[in-house]
Structure 1
Amino acid sequence: MSKRKYFDTSKSVRLSTYRDQHFKGSQNEQEKRLLSSSTLYVGNLAFYTREEQIHELFSRAGDVKRIVMGLDKIKRTPCGFCFVEFYTRSDAENAMRYVNGTRLDDRVIRTDWDVGFQEGRQYGRGKSGGQVRDEYRVDYDPGRGGYGKIIMQKMGQDDRMFTDPSVPVAPAATAASTAAAPSAAAPAAATTAAP
């Protein structure tokens, strides 16, 4: 195979600039593996997206060998990414061309080449167990657990408020705010607790 042909891939299946910093090997070795891989990293999934949905979507591009769901390393719950392994490189290329950028559970999903799944990579690398990108998110994203973990900690809230209906949604009241407006705190809690 000529060097030109080796790197001459169509725009939609070209390698991104992202490189896994945890890869054991040189950058050249990583690029070589990426160029022959039949495994895709899939990101921006909703936390509630199921493996069956992913299989249904990606099997339109070719024969899926396996799907490995990304998990929060502490809670062992889905955290918004997965690996999709195809039997052939050409099927993976079809997925890069036709599935990347489509909507699944009302989210635009992203696909990227991966060197191949290895045990342990299914766990989020963030300090709180999920993905690093979800730790710093400042906008509210109901499909990915609400606000970012760091923002929720600053607000004095935890992620149970988005999954457990018994946890109030209103920010934790301070002694000063309760004394200043005692009647305003009660109606807000009652309104947010209603179904």
Structure 2
Amino acid sequence: MGNRLYVGNLSFNTTRETLESAFAAAGEVREIAMPTDRETGQPRGFAFVTMGTAQAANSAISQLNGAMLDGRTLKVNEAQERPARGFGGGGRDRY
């Protein structure tokens, strides 16, 4: 298991500090990434939290998956790596 966690179903009012405080109870928090919408700048309702160790990540999952934060039930699990994306085609060859 890795140290990077996916945290879903976040309230749009949840801050980085609130999230860090919740996860710090399970162990060292190394990084928090909270993606925002490109056009509006609003949070997208999910985050990635990198814990200090795999043990801390496991602890965070068991403690926080299904827990309430800012009025929402969190979904916490190990983050999956994105599959490699293709080169995106325009439908014609470039030769």
What TM-score results when the alignment is normalised by the length of structure 1? 0.40
Structure 1 ranges of 4+ moved more than 3 A: none
> Do the aligned partners of residues 70 and 46 (structure 1) sit closer, same or farther apart at CA in structure 2, a change above 3 Å counting?
same
Q: Select 1:61's aligned residue among 26, 51, 67.
A: 26
Structure 1 residue 76: Cα displacement: 2.1
The structure richer in strand per residue is: 2
Is contact 1:37-1:115 (8 Å) kept?
Answer: no
Which residue number corresponds to residue 40 of structure 1? 5
Q: Which amino acid aligns with 1:54?
A: L
Q: Which amino acid aligns with 1:49?
A: T
Is contact 1:43-1:80 (8 Å) kept?
Answer: yes
Q: Select 1:100's aligned residue among 65, 81, 85.
A: 65
Unmatched 5+ stretches in structure 1: 1-35, 118-195
Per-residue CA deviations over 1:158-191 (Å, capped at 9, x if unaligned) read: xxxxxxxxxxxxxxxxxxxxxxxxxxxxxxxxxx
Q: Select 2:36's aligned residue among 57, 65, 71.
A: 71
Per-residue CA deviations over 1:128-175 (Å, capped at 9, x if unaligned) read: xxxxxxxxxxxxxxxxxxxxxxxxxxxxxxxxxxxxxxxxxxxxxxxx
Could you tell me the percent identity over the aligned residues?
35
Which residue number corresponds to residue 89 of structure 1? 54
Give RMSD over aligned pairs: 1.5
| Matched position secondary structure for 2:45 | strand
Structure 1 residue 73: Cα displacement: 2.5
**Higher RCO (Cα < 8 Å, 6 or more apart):** 2
> Do the aligned partners of residues 105 and 72 (structure 1) sit closer, same or farther apart at CA in structure 2, a change above 3 Å counting?
same
Structure 1 residue 116: Cα displacement: 6.0
The structure richer in helix per residue is: 1
**Number of matched pairs:** 82
Unmatched 5+ stretches in structure 2: 83-95
Is contact 1:37-1:89 (8 Å) kept?
Answer: yes
What TM-score results when the alignment is normalised by the length of structure 2? 0.80
Q: Which amino acid aligns with 2:41?
A: R
Distance in 2 (CA, whole Å) between partners of 1:78 and 1:93 is: 25
2:79 maps to 1:114: yes
